Amino acid sequence: MKNVKPLKEHGGQTSGHPWYYLLGGVVPSPKQIQAEVIASDYCGYMADDIRQIDKMSEPKRSEKLRSLQAKFREDLKSDLSRYREVVRELHHHRKTKRIINIPVSCSDVHTSVSLKNAHLYNDFAHLHFLDELLGKQLDLFGI
Count: domains in the chain: 1
Give a yes or no: residue 143 inside a domain. Answer: no
Residue type at position 129: F
Task: Say what the pTM is.
Answer: 0.86
Distance CA 47, CA 130 (A): 9
Backbone φ and ψ of 13, nearest 5°: -120, 155
Task: State CA 32 to chain mean position distance.
Answer: 10
52 with 21: CB under 8 angstroms? no
The angle formed by the CA atoms of residues 35, 120 and 13, to the nearest 5 degrees, is: 75
Mean pLDDT of the chain: 89
Give a yes or no: residue 79 inside a domain. Answer: yes
In tens, the pLDDT along 87-134 reads 999 999 989 877 666 667 778 999 999 999 999 999 999 999 999 999
Containing domain of residue 38, as a range?
20-134
Greater pLDDT, 16 or 6: 16
Greater pLDDT, 106 or 27: 27
What integer pLDDT is reported at residue 142 of this predicted model? 54
| pLDDT, mean of residues 56-75 | 95
